[in-house]
Amino acid sequence: MNGSISERIIKKGKDKHGKVKENLKVHDVFYRFQDPTSGKWKQTSKKGFRTKGDAEAFLLKVNSQMMGNTFVQVTKLTVREYLLKWQDDYVKANLRATSIAGYKNNIEKHILPYIGNVELQNLTTFQIDDLYMKLQKSGRVDGKGGLSPKSILYVHRVMTKALSMAEKQSLIPRNPASFATPPRLKKPKCDIYEKDEILQLLECVKDTDMEVPIALAAICGMRRGEVLGLMPSDICSEDNTVKIQRQLIPTKDGIIFEEPKSEDSNRVINAPEEVMEMIKRHLERQEQNKKMLGDEYQDNGLINCYPDGRMIDPRNFSKMFAKTLKDAGLKHIKFHALRHSAATLMLAAGVPMKVASQILGHSTIGITADLYQHVVTDMKKDAADKISMSLFKKDKE
């Protein structure tokens, strides 16, 4: 067995029953472990066991963990210390501004106040599940109730990702969050626009500053930030394509440009000639504004902006869209629902799932299939009908 146990006498201390005694015998365990970063063997110890049996049990546990490659060196690192360091070393260095803000909020407001003082190596799945239950009951910072299942799921993702790295760094033997059970998320019913409703909306906003953003979302499936970050250089009239390579996003420090949501979101899509014509007319009106306003025009190089060239905060744009629908007397939906409307129309029109996924900028085709399961179900029924007609048409005649 790797390691040894030695006895020593301390002048004063508590025995295994908690009673203070003088000249108390304690047991120290000495053992070697392999540093996971350097691969070198190091000598260490754990001292002060009140009985030899406790010391032997600890040494046996260490040896068992080493044989099973699950050994981690004992540390007093707390969840708070680890997560704050992980936030500085990993989150800030690898994620986008909006993601950094979200991680910071979840760590500092929803995790640390509850389990921040727990030693990282002592953190259990039970404690994490208990955290989720507390957040669900009274997790709101304003004290007005609990967090939604979706918000708790975000907390769970942060916990899982952070503790996964701790496991890889051999700070913990396993990731307790991977066995935790966050609340189940019910898929919300998303109101979308049917084909006739989209055409009616486009008619209401024809030749206004809302026409192009709405067309790009409802017909081309673009996201709000992608629409607002579009520049004339992204438009190619020769082959009717739109290049998506940036988005405009809101942060606590103002609105900024950022790369698309994922690598697959950085894409080129083909737009119908009707949409290209809308963009052309819009740019002509924009040029007239520039000439009319002269030096007062704040040129940020954007297609979709305020009449004086100022960037539109995406949050304000959503309010502008809601007002547009209200003024037109149309059914209220969120602007993002236009993207869902476009996806539904694509799939219903027979556009292959993989192609639709690429147009929408999803990282996997599975995301598209999951989001639009209702359309997929209809497509399957249609496929069955077509097979039936192909095979049994003559018999039915």
Q: What is the DSSP letter of 264?
A: G
Give the Cα separation of 177 and 252 in Å (integer): 30
What is the C-alpha separation between 235 and 241, in angstroms, rounded? 6
DSSP state of 187: P
- Rounded to the nearest integer, the mean pLDDT of the chain is 89
Token reading at 196: 């006739």
322: closest CA among 126, 230, 140, 191? 191
In sequence order, the 6+-apart residues with CB closer than 8 A to the CB of 390 are: none
Tell me how crowded residue 248 is: count the other CB atoms within 10 A of its CB: 24
Q: For residue 140, what are its two tokens?
A: 């709101």
How many alpha carbons fall within 13 Å on the CB side of residue 145? 4
Which segments in the chain show pLDDT lower than 50?
Answer: 396-397
- Cβ neighbours of residue 102 under 8 Å, at least 6 residues apart? 154
Domains defined along the chain, listed by start: 4-67 (no CATH), 79-179 (1.10.150.130), 195-376 (1.10.443.10)
| Neighbouring-strand partners of residue 26 | 8
**List of residues 6+ apart from 43 with CB closer than 8 A:** 30, 31, 32
d(C-alpha 170, C-alpha 36), whole Å: 7
- Tell me the H-state helices in the chain: 52-67, 79-86, 92-94, 97-105, 112-115, 125-138, 149-168, 195-204, 211-218, 224-228, 273-293, 314-328, 336-348, 353-360, 365-371, 373-396
By the 10 Å C-beta count (0-12 exposed, 13-18 middle, 19+ buried), 59 is classed as: buried
Beta carbons within 8 Å of 252's beta carbon, 6+ residues apart: 101
User: Strand 241-244 vs strand 235-236: parallel, antiparallel, or unpaired?
Assistant: antiparallel
Tokens representing 53 are: 């049996």
Distance in angstroms (rounded) separating the CA atoms of residues 139 and 137: 6
Cβ pair 272, 244 in contact under 8 A: no
- Predicted local confidence at residue 313, as pLDDT: 96
Instruction: Give SS3 for 233.
Output: helix
Q: What is the pTM of this model?
A: 0.69
Tokens of 141: 């910072």
Nearest to 87 by CA among 112, 118, 119, 121: 112
Contact predicate 52/16, CB 8 Å: no
Phi first, then psi: what are they for 350, rounded to 5°? 100, 10
CA 275 from centroid of its chain's CA atoms: 31
